[in-house]
Amino acid sequence: TGTLESEFSREALRKINGLARQYYLKNPLIQRGVNVQSYYVFGQGVEIAAKDAEVNDVVQAFWDDAKNKSELTAQQALVMKERELTLFGDLFFVFFVKRDGTVRIRTIPPDEIDDILCNPEDGKDPWWYKRTYSVRDLDGVYRTRTVCYRDWRYTGNQRPENAEIMTEPVFHVRVGGLSDMRFGVSEVYAAQDWAKAYKAFLEDWATITRAYSRFAWRLTTP
């Protein structure tokens, strides 16, 4: 447990996410379940539109932006984001607002988010997202950087100390877990032990079948 008895520590969630990644890439049961869910949600694509013509022009410009397509709005990107949400329980979208008002979207890897700083009086009111990550400069040297992003709904003036403040807002999407948890929990976490046990069962059954095949062909006649 972490600072709160009701949720996992960040280190525990990182281990769960690492296992979820491995199970998805290696275990066909987990991979198929995650893929079927993503195909069910976005397999036929999705269309976004606004009734107001001017608003719709803004929406379509965002949706058709080439870099937004690579991150989110293309069908393949939507399917991939659905898989990542299922596997890791969290998506952290960052919005970069350009001078002309257009918006470009990117995501932060969930394991780079160290903490979610909430309203001291309301644990369900997030204010800041603390991120620690490595930056590689042009000389090939890595340095650690700690920054904080504000939640897209937060408009207050209180800021965390000892961290660089970023101007881009973050929109957090989470699944799994319970309502009193700040972070999500991988949706395949509950299936990992079962998938491992079923893998062991299939291996044992394959061993028995091979033994039967050897006995079946050891036949002698007078």
Longest dimension (CA), the chain: 95
Mean pLDDT by 10 residues, the chain (222 residues): 69 95 94 94 88 94 94 94 96 93 94 95 94 88 92 94 91 93 94 91 89 69 76
Q: pTM value?
A: 0.86
**Nearest-angstrom CA–CA distance, 45 and 51:** 20
Locate 101 and state its tokens: 């008002």
Task: For residue 67, give the amino acid letter.
Answer: K
Strand extents, DSSP E, 109-190: 113-119, 122-136, 142-150, 164-165, 170-174
Crossing angle of the two packed helices 10-26 and 75-88, in degrees rounded to 10: 120
Q: Tell me the three state secondary structure of residue 180.
A: coil
- Match 């992003």 to its residue by tokens: 149
CA–CA gap between residue 88 and residue 20 (Å, rounded): 7
Tell me what pLDDT residue 218 has. Answer: 63
Q: Which of 80, 91, 90, 92 is nearest to 37 (CA)?
A: 80
What is the pLDDT at residue 2? 43
Length of the chain: 222
pLDDT of residue 1: 37
